[in-house]
């Protein structure tokens, strides 16, 4: 099957108010046949790039193309967000419902699924994550690794075309990292991962690029 360009960022520039430019003409393509790792030092703008992809920040110039269409307005990004399975660095920023099942069902219900359909999705997702039976559990009572997996589950429940993970190994012990690694490697979804954990990226991605001085290192 031929490769498809899922995200195409072209000549992006961005600066926060009254601060120097963070992005200085960045170009980045995310394709359907790659598991892409984005690396770079603190403050280089990696999370800024993810925020622009999700439509949470607007570049000062340049274009954002997702799934073959330019995305400019809030309506444009609202259309694609369910298909961009974004998982926050801190799972507590993503989980807000009383139980695990409620958190995972929220997205499908919000998109028009019936209660029965949402319940089926919850079971399917929990089984795939090795969390069978966790549905009634209170989310805040889970371990950090379990909360991270549930946050991933909320993204998977939307049947995304791409997973986007921001520092997924932060706060996780070795056992939880190994579980997350296995889940990513057993998935058929393309993935964009921002991480400082180079060893983890070596095990779960097929390509790494570095954000340096506002551009992708080596781009012309």
For the stretch 157-196, pLDDT in tens is 999 999 999 999 988 889 889 999 999 999 999 999 999 9
Give the pLDDT band of residue 219 (cuts 50, 70, 90). low
d(CA 213, CA 39): 12
At how many degrees (to 10) do helices 115-128 and 144-156 cross?
130
Residue 138 has pLDDT above 60, yes or no: yes
β-strand 21-31 against 207-212: which pairing, if any?
unpaired
Confidence of residue 137 (pLDDT cuts 50, 70, 90): very high
Confidence check: pLDDT of 220 > 70: no
Residue 7: closest CA among 168, 191, 182, 131? 191
Q: What is the pLDDT of residues 10-52, one digit of tens each?
A: 999 999 988 889 999 999 999 999 899 999 998 899 999 999 9
Please give the structure tokens belonging to residue 62.
């340049």
- Could you tell me the pLDDT band of residue 1, with boundaries at 50, 70 and 90? low
Superfamily in which the 5-216 domain is placed by CATH: P-loop containing nucleotide triphosphate hydrolases (3.40.50.300)
Name which of 155, 157, 86 is nearest 77 in CA terms: 86
Mean residue pLDDT of the chain comes to 94
According to the model, what pLDDT value does residue 157 have?
96
What mean pLDDT comes out for the span 3-9? Answer: 95
pTM of the model: 0.93
Query: Has residue 112 got a pLDDT over 90?
Result: yes
The phi, psi pair for 72, rounded to 5°, reads -125, -40
What is the separation of C-alpha 31 from the centre of its chain, rounded to a whole number of angstroms?
14
What are the pLDDT digits (tens) for 70-83?
999 999 999 999 99
Q: What is the pLDDT of residue 18?
A: 83
Question: How far is the C-alpha of 106 from the C-alpha of 118, rounded, in Å?
Answer: 8
Contacts of the segment 40-46: beta carbons below 8 A, 24+ positions apart? 40/210, 40/211, 40/212, 44/211, 44/212, 44/213, 44/214, 45/14, 45/211, 45/214, 46/194, 46/211
């Amino acid at each position: 099957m031929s490769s498809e360009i899922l995200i195409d960022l072209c000549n992006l520039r961005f600066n926060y108010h009254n601060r120097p430019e963070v992005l200085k003409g960045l170009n980045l393509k995310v394709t359907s046949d790659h598991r892409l790792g984005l690396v770079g030092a603190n403050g280089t703008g990696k999370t800024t790039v993810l925020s622009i992809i999700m439509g949470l920040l607007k570049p000062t110039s340049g274009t954002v193309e997702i799934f073959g269409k330019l995305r400019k307005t809030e309506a444009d990004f609202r259309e694609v967000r369910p298909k961009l399975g974004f998982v926050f660095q801190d799972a507590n920023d993503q989980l807000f419902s009383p139980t695990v099942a409620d958190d995972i069902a929220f997205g499908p219900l919000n998109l028009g699924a019936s209660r029965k359909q949402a319940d089926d999705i919850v079971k399917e997702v929990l089984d795939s994550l090795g969390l069978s039976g966790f549905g009634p559990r209170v989310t805040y009572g889970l371990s950090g690794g379990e909360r991270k997996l549930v946050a991933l589950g909320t993204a998977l429940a939307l049947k995304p075309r791409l997973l986007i993970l921001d520092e997924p190994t932060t706060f996780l012990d070795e056992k939880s990292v190994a579980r997350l690694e296995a889940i990513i490697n057993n998935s058929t979804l393309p993935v964009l991962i921002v991480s400082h954990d180079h060893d983890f990226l070596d095990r779960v991605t097929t390509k790494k690029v570095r954000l340096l001085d506002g551009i992708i290192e080596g781009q012309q």
